[in-house]
Chain A
Amino acid sequence: MQSLKKRSDLLVEEIEDEVVIYDPRTHYVHHLNPMASIIWELFDVSPSPRDIAKEIVDVLKTDLSNVEKDVLETLDKLQRKGILE
């Protein structure tokens, strides 16, 4: 997971608190819900799932292990969709 990075050719629009991504390679469009959008944004600060989870926990004051699991799942989905590689 540490070696993942955002693809540079993606077209990304932030609309209110959500993100829409257009993949010019496949012509697929992806819509990230508010939580996935936060994870997408925080991925720029650090690609580490634990660091991202910590940032979220700081704001939401919730359980780290649950959030870390959600972050891992989200990053896994983004990778399977081909928008992280």
Chain B
Amino acid sequence: MSLSTTRFEVLSFPFELTTDDKEFFDEFLELNSALTLPGNGKLPQVQYSVIKNTKYFCIRENGKFRNRWAHRWPLYLSVMMCVRDCLYLHLKEYLFLHSGALAKNNKAVLLPGPSESGKSTLTLGLLNYGYRYLTDEVVVIDLSDLRVLPFQRPIYIYGWHSVVSAEVEKYFKFYRFKERYGNTMQPWQYAVPQQEAILPKDTNFEVGWIVFPTYNKTQKDSYLKPVSRAEAAFNLMQNGWNMQRFNDCGLKVCSELVKKADCYRLIMGDLKEACELIEGLTGNAPVSVKSEALESIWKRKALL
């Protein structure tokens, strides 16, 4: 059995992965290229192993069984969910929010919301308007200055069609694969930020806008509704990944964040209109982005 091992850091926290599956190992390195840094000589605090026995790939964390899969495709997500949980547990200097985030003109737009609220779709849509990708799922707030750090994990997208304009496409590499749901195989892809889109790990942004998206499939248009700062703080608390770690300071951090930002709820039926509304909010004249490639993206409103 030939083993491959890599050491990597996420938010300076050291991990190690060992596997006997070369294909998964290569995929792991590729998909993580924007999110992680190579290990920096620190001893890994958490070690993962992904070893294939006769039937399953078995995932262990520091020797303890975590999960097993019959196929290769869930392995990356599964290991990275363990990594994410580990960060929430160990890093007390960051608040983690369930939120998408993009940056433009040195300010960040946060898109907090539960699963299927439209965070990833909106994140993809806004890339076409010149926003820098920070994350589609995990916003990292540095508690020392309340600024947002990039957490550039691959964007997980349903379907194999083009999701961004040709202009934006060159900043991402797309990995297509199929996942089994019941008896059918469904097409998915990862969009991995490439060199030009990768932000230095110490880059940070002030939060300028907090927009809570809500996808409504029965609605044809999109609209923005201002929310009070108290309601915004309440909603941020609801979308905290590690809020219970902080007790007293979690509420204070959310209160301070909303005091600095303009807060809205976005009821989203039409993605293109939703993007233009945010573009208008951030101080830029709403620009209409039209192209043939983009038409498929705007039609993705049902595919969150």
A: which residues have CB within 8 A of B?
A: 11, 13, 15-16, 18-20, 22, 24, 27, 29-32
**A27 contacts which chain B residues (CB < 8 A)?**
243-244
**A22 contacts which chain B residues (CB < 8 A)?**
237, 247, 250-251
Q: How far is the CA of A64 from the CA of B4 in the complex (A)?
A: 76
**B191 contacts which chain A residues (CB < 8 A)?**
none
State whether B258 touches A15 (Cβ < 8 A): yes
Provide 15 A-B residue pairs closer than 8 Å at the C-beta atoms, listed in order of the A residue.
A13-B233, A13-B251, A13-B255, A15-B230, A16-B228, A16-B229, A18-B228, A19-B230, A20-B234, A20-B254, A24-B247, A27-B244, A29-B234, A29-B237, A31-B231
Please encode chain B, from 188 to 214, with 1 for each CB lying within 8 Å of some chain A CB and 0 for all others. Answer: 000000000000000000000000000
What is the interface of chain B mostly: helix, strand, loop, or mixed? helix
Most interface-central of A15, A18, A27, A32 (chain B CB within 10 A): A15
Q: How large is the interface on B (under 10, 10 to 19, 20 to 34, 35 or more residues)?
A: 10 to 19
**A11 contacts which chain B residues (CB < 8 A)?**
247-248, 251
Q: How far is the CA of A30 from the CA of B234 in the complex (A)?
A: 7
Q: How far is the CA of A18 from the CA of B259 in the complex (A)?
A: 13
**B244 contacts which chain A residues (CB < 8 A)?**
27
Which B residues from 237 to 261 make CB contacts under 8 A with A?
Answer: 237-238, 243-244, 247-248, 250-252, 254-255, 258-259
State whether B248 touches A31 (Cβ < 8 A): no
**A18 contacts which chain B residues (CB < 8 A)?**
228-231
Contact A20/B248 with A15-B259, A29-B237, A29-B238 known, Cβ cut-off 8 Å:
no
Contact A31/B234 with A11-B251, A20-B251, A20-B255 known, Cβ cut-off 8 Å:
yes
